[in-house]
Every structure is written in C-alpha cells, then in structure tokens.
Chain A
Amino acid sequence: MIELYLRLLDRVLTPLLLLIGVVLLLRGHDAPGGGFIAALMVSAAIALQILSNGARLVRARIGRALQPLIATGLLLGVGSALLGVFTGQGFFAGIWWSIHWGPIDYKIGTPVLFDLGVFLAVTGATIAFMLGLSTNVIETTDEPRLGKRPVQHAAQPARRGEEAQ
C-alpha cells in the first residue's frame, strides 16, 4: 500500500520538483543554483516516479530519450564554450545578451547555455543510472537486453503499478 500514498504524494511533488528545477537552472549563473543542482532536483522527481510507478513504466515513457538527452547536453556544453572562440574572445569566454520584453528582464548568455548543457547531460545520466539500478531491485523484470528477444514466462502475476489498467 506504500505505492498508493507515494502516488498521491508524487502528484503534488513531481510538478513542484520540476518547477524548482527550472527555477534553479535559470537563476544559477548569478545566484545559488545551476545546472547540476537543477538536474539533481529533476532526477529526484523521476526517482519518485520510479518508486511509485515502477521502473518499467518510467523506462517505457522516457527510456529512449535519455541517450539523446546526454548527447545534446554534451554538445550544448562544448558549443557554448566554443562560441567565445568564434567571436575571438577565447574558449569559455562569457558572452551576454539581455532580454527586455514587457515585464521580463532576463540576462542570457553562454554560461546559461553551458548550465543548460550540464543540466541535460546530468539529468540523462542520473536517470539512466537510477533506471539501471532499479531494474532488478525494485521489480524483477524480464527487460530485454539489446538485440535479444524478451523472455516470455508462462504464468506471470500482475505487476505492481499495472493492476489498475
């Protein structure tokens, strides 16, 4: 029955954690926060999902997005550092623009992009670690290995998190 409470709780907590993650990401270049912390916050939200809904469901939903997420993060991080080279200010030079649009007054620059890259890469890697760790612990799955067909068991009991469907 733990899952019931957890599932009720994560309806409230998951959006909250994701929102805090975004806030931390956007303010991180000047104030406490940053891509790494934001990524851990978002991963905490996903960890909650894994605990309440099971690794299988989470993997089915976002499993395929993880590798592109890490790739985008790495490329964005290097790209933001390289921007300075193209403008002649040197590798990792900070270049800033300001956005003034109605009530929004936001400073955007290569450090923000770098933070975004860190955020994506760390989120992808952390979620991949957690899914990898929870596959055999939280529920025993017959998750297919790459290139192999899934093993079909004859009489399989209903899995947690899927009874309702």
Chain B
Amino acid sequence: MLELLQSIPFQPTWLALPVALPMAAAGLLLAVARLGFRQRFRLQRWIAGVVAGIHVLLALLILAHTLAGDEGARIVYQMGSWPAPFGITLIADSFTAIMLLMTALLVVAVVPYAAGTLDHHRESMGFYPLTLLLLMGMNGAYLAGDLFNLYVFFEVLLTSSFVLLTLGGTPGQINGGIRYVVLNLMASLVFLSAAGVAYGTLGTLNMAQMAQRMDIAPDAVRILLAGLMLVAFGSKAGLFPLFFWLPASYHTPHPVVTALFGGTLTKVGVYTLFRLFPLFFPGLLVAWQPLILTIAALTMLISVLAAFVQPTIRRLISFDIISQVGFMLLALGIALDPRAPVTGFALAAGIIFIVHNMLVKTALLMGGGVAELEMGSGNLGAIGGLAAKRPYLAGLFFVAAFSLAGIPPSSGFVSKLSLLQATIGVHQYWMAAVSLLVSLLTMMVMIRLWQYIFWGEFTTGHAQWTPLRKPWASWLTLGPITVLVALSLTMGIFFRPVLHVAQKAANQVLDRTGYIAAVAPLADVPVEPEFWEPPQ
C-alpha cells in the first residue's frame, strides 16, 4: 500500500492543491447555485463530496511521500518560485499529512450526514460552499510556512465557521455566534500582535527563518512571543482560562455544523501549538513545563467536571471536547522533557490522541445529533428511551462513548495508554494520576449521557427541531458514523503501524534543523539590532 502510493510521483507544486481545490470548488458551487432548481442541492452535495474524496487521496499521497526513508521527508513548495523569506512557503511533513488526511476524512463523513439531515433553508444558504471554504482555511493553516499566511488562513477558517455557525439565523445562534466571533477575534488580535512583534524584532515572518533567529534573540523577545502565541492558539484550541467561546456557541447551530466543528476546529489550534512550540521555543517548552502542565490539568479537570452538570447533549459533549484538549497539551508539555527514555514518544502519543479524538468526537456529535433530531430536543432531562426505537444507533453511540472513555480495544485505549506511559516515563506522577482520574470521570459522563438518551421509556421533550423525512436519511446519517467508529476500532486493534507513523511524524516535528534546511531561507533580510539592545 505504502510502496504503491510512493511509486506515484508527487510534484511539490501539488502542495497548493489542498488550498486551491476547495476554493475553486466553492466558487463553482456558488456559480452553479441557481442551476437545476429543485435538484440543485444534489449537484452541490456531489461536488462537495467528490472534492473532499479527492482530498483524502491527495492527503494519503502526501503522507506516503513524507514517510519515505528512515527519517521521513518534507515536501516544500515556494509559490511562484520566490525564494523562502520573500515568497509564500508551503511545507508538509508527516504530521501535516496526518492532519490533512483526518480533516478531509471528516469532511467526507459530514457531507452525506448533511445531505440526510439539513433542511431546505440551510442548504440553500450555502452549507456546502462554506464547508469547502472551511476546509480550505484548515488545509492552509496546516501547510503554511510563514506566520502571516497562518494568520490569514486562520481568518478564512474563522469567517467561514462564523457563517456556518449562524446558518439558519435563529436567535440562539446569533447569540452564540456573537460570543464566538468576539472571543475568537480577540485571540486573532493577540496572534496578530505576536506576528507584529516577530516582524519588528526578528525581521522576518518565515517560520524557518524565525526559528533560526529565535536562537540568537534575547530572552525577552522569546518569552513575549511564546506568551502571546500560547494565549492566541490556546484560545483557539480551547485551553483552560480561554475556552469560553466553545461551550457558548457549539450547541446552537444545526447538529451537522457542531459535528464538523467539534472534530476539527480546536484541533487546528492544537496542531499549531504542536508545530510552533517545538520549532520556536524548544528551551521554553522545558522551562515552562510546570505552567503548561498546570494549564493541561486544569483544562482536563474543570471541563470534565463541568460536563457532569450540562443540561443538553451537545453542551455536554462540548465540555468534553475541551477536556480532551487538555490531554493533547499534556503531550506537548512533556514532549521535550530530558528524562524521556524515547525522544518524541510523548509527542507521538499526542498525535495519536489527536487522530483518535477527531474520529470519535465527530462520531459522538453525529450520533448525538441524530438522537437530537429524532427526538426534537437535546434536553437530557426531558428525553430518553431511544434504544428501543433506534437500537443500531444506540450500539454505535455506545462504542463511540466507550472509545472516548478509553476502553479496549478502541483507539481511546491505546492513545491514553501510550500517553500514560510517556507521562510516567518522565516521572510526572501527578499528571498521570490526573489523567487517569479524568479518564474515569469521562467514562462516568459518557455512561450518564448514554443512559439519558437511550435508556428507559421513550419520551421526547419540547420539540426544537422538526424531524425531517428525507430519502435515505438513516443510511446517510448512520453510514458515516459506522465508518468513523470502525476506523476508531481499527486504529485500536492494528496499533503498531499507527504508532510507527506517529513516531516518525513526532520526530519530524521535533527536528528543527531538518525543517530549517528543508525551507532553506536566504539570510539576506537584515536583522534590526537596535530592537535587541535594552533601552539605556
């Protein structure tokens, strides 16, 4: 399989496709939006689904090529043949390819789900073009080789997600949407300040060149930049004191939008933290370990405790999303610990955790969404007893929930186990205890959720959604969930190749010199030394 994919030649130019293709497809969808009248959504669905499918193949190809050799390889494309610090650099390594693959997979899963559940109004307001633009923003953020383009793609992502969030325009959505956009714009502002500080002090925004100059920069610059980036991306990822935008908004839109967001958006923030901190601040990652681990522990604990008292399905899962992000930050916190017996194992565990989480969280949100649409409401106090009516859904949800809790043979078990091994390996026993406790609490939350939705007498609450009767609806909704749950189980059972790939990806992320050498920035941009002198 791997050899077959590696035998297909890959032009570095094609690295632009994950950005260009969804953009072109979104343009095409808007252009044909009025063609075909009643049948027009069928055309939109097919185009969106096929484009996402092409992305999966493309990401597989990139993954195969970045895994070549013992060390792995990097694919670099300098747009328009402008050399590195002057032009736009796109760079992919195995971690990028894994994220591209997972995101494309989730979009492939979401498109049929949307076709089965979305109402006419929301489909006609452009769900599919917006999803493609969101995909473009995420792909661009994964591939960006300089800080400014990273910012731009984060904005593309934010703008399309904001429109998706308010698609349908109910008062609750506008309320959640305003909080979402204000808090996210504040994070973007912090990010933009970081970019400004970086340009003013380091004289460059190219990430490879920034990494070069970060080594000779004074401590003040490094600490300021690290702090700004931790706040900016920590907010996007949903870390402890900055996660409020997430539970305030994720339960308001149509379930399909929540499923799309829950699997992807926070993970882009986590990806950026994983990418930038080992590249820019390897020293600070060790020095700030107590801070990072404290944030991770608080994120895990507080949000899992908050999940216990949430009144609706999607509010509960939203808090659970945040709690799982804490595990990922834990992996980053111990990634460069000098006591680690195997370098990069902690980060590999983190990458596996991200992949597991993207699969399972989307499956859970999709399953919860089907239940919510079926019973007309997500209010846990009022609904119940769906197991008798939809036994297959109950089974799928059960497996997904237990995968999240970390019961073997699911992906949750292996990812939590490897993370626990890495944590104990660096003698962080307190963090190991906290992560075990949070796993236990997560399991209790998930059992509670399953029990509320599926157990007992069948009752429905005050109907917020009118159940749609679309053709093929149960196939279109349960099919993708089945695929995601099956992928989670496969990952848990055939763990060795997954670990191998993740270990390679983690080593590539930690290999700063390789990254800098791959981009090979020219050193012609003058550094402004006067900024570096302390004021007299």
Contact = CB atoms under 8 A, between A and B. Distances in A.
Contacts of B125: 146
A140 interface: no
B80 A70 contact: no
A82 B20 contact: yes
B24 A90 contact: no
A84 B23 contact: no
A68 B121 CA distance: 19
B124 A68 contact: no
Contacts, number: 64
Contact of A145 (B28, B79, B121): B121
Given A90-B79, A146-B121, A147-B124, A68 B23 contact: no
Interface stretch (A45-53, A72-80, A96-104): A72-80
B77 interface: yes
Contacts of A92: 16, 79-80, 88
B81 A71 contact: no
Contact of B33 (A71, A72, A75, A147): A71
Contacts of B30: 67-68, 70-71, 74
B26 interface: yes
A13 interface: no
A82 to B, nearest CB: 7
A75 B31 contact: yes
Given A68-B31, A71-B31, A85-B13, A91 B23 contact: no
B81 A89 contact: yes
Contacts of B33: 67, 71
A79 to B, nearest CB: 8
A145 B124 CA distance: 11
A72 B13 contact: no
A11 B241 CA distance: 51
A5 B173 CA distance: 38
Interface in A84-129: 84-85, 89-94
A81 interface: yes
Contacts of B381: none
B496 interface: no
B27 interface: yes
A74 B79 contact: no
Nearest to A125: B159
A78 B20 contact: yes
Interface string B6-34: 00000001001000100110111111011
B371 to A, nearest CB: 27
B366 to A, nearest CB: 26
B120 interface: yes
7 nearest A-B residue pairs (beta carbon) = A74-B27, A71-B30, A71-B31, A75-B27, A91-B16, A92-B79, A78-B24
